[in-house]
């Protein structure tokens, strides 16, 4: 009997296998692209994240998006002292309501006012760098009552009850054991007996120890990150490039 090698069938199997391998390779490439999109490009020096967060619950600020909270921005309430205080710190406690706890690592640019240290409300273009005055747990400002009807404002971030627009927290924090500088842009709006704080963006310098300019959000050395929404998270890796893009044109606040 004459043997048949059936080369056509073998060719068809190879083609099928080849198509499957191609499909797996494409899927792996897409997933890899998604992972790469999460990391700042190697040439970037400043990573800027757009945001719009009203500080109701404590805001966990993760400057470099590594899943580690670098700072908390929170409003602490004290009914016994008729006090609402906006504060910033690295470590927060939720025992009897949110409040800041001392931490010896990450720090905030500080300023002294009326014999008390506060987080400085920096203007745009201020440099945040080595040699600046920093503190670990700092109030930003607030409203305190002498009684239930008489209040007074204190701290640079409320400006005597007028509030502030687009001021900057100067931040110093560690990434893999090395200090980096960053900032968070905040607007504080006031009423006659209350206030609210809105975080509208934040950034950090990827080079350890290098100074950063408060408010810098454009230029060839800036990468812009658009905060992910639930819709983006549901869409998975394929949606990541839609909210993280390299800055190629002038950015606006």
Q: What is the pLDDT of residues 70-80, one digit of tens each?
A: 999 999 887 76
Average pLDDT over residues 15-38: 43
What distance, in Å, lies between the first and last C-alpha atoms of the chain?
Answer: 82
Residue with tokens 């499909």: 23
- Does the pTM surpass 0.75? The reply is no
> What is the predicted pLDDT for the residue at 185?
98
Question: Using one digit for the tens of pLDDT, what is the confidence trace for 196-228?
Answer: 999 999 999 999 999 999 999 999 999 999 864
What does the block give as tokens for 233?
Answer: 């998270």
What does the block give as tokens for 108?
Answer: 């905030």
121 or 35: which carries more pLDDT confidence?
A: 121
* Cα–Cα distance measured from residue 201 to residue 192, given in angstroms and rounded to the nearest whole number: 27
The angle formed by the CA atoms of residues 189, 194 and 199, to the nearest 5 degrees, is: 35
């Amino acid at each position: 009997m004459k043997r048949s090698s059936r080369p056509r069938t073998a060719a068809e199997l190879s083609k099928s296998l080849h198509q499957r391998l191609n499909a797996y390779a494409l899927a792996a490439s897409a997933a890899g692209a998604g992972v790469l999109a999460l990391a700042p490009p190697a040439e970037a020096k400043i990573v800027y994240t757009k945001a719009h967060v009203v500080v109701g619950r404590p805001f966990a600020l993760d400057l470099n998006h590594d899943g580690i909270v670098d700072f908390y921005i929170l409003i602490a309430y004290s009914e016994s002292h008729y006090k609402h205080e906006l504060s910033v710190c690295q470590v927060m406690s939720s025992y009897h309501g949110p409040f800041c706890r001392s931490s010896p690592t990450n720090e905030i640019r500080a300023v002294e006012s009326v014999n008390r240290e506060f987080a400085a409300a920096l203007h745009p273009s201020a440099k945040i760098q080595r040699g600046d005055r920093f503190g670990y747990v700092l109030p930003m400002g607030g409203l305190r009552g002498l009684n239930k009807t008489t209040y007074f404002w204190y701290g640079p971030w409320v400006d005597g009850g007028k509030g502030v627009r687009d001021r900057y927290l100067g931040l110093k924090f560690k990434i893999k054991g090395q200090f980096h500088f960053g900032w968070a842009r905040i607007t504080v709006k006031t009423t006659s007996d209350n206030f609210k704080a809105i975080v509208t963006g934040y950034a950090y310098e990827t080079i350890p120890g290098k100074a950063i300019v408060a408010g810098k959000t454009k230029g060839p050395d800036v990468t812009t990150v658009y905060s992910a929404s639930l819709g983006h998270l549901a869409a998975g890796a394929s949606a990541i490039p839609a909210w993280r893009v390299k800055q190629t044109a002038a950015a606006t606040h």
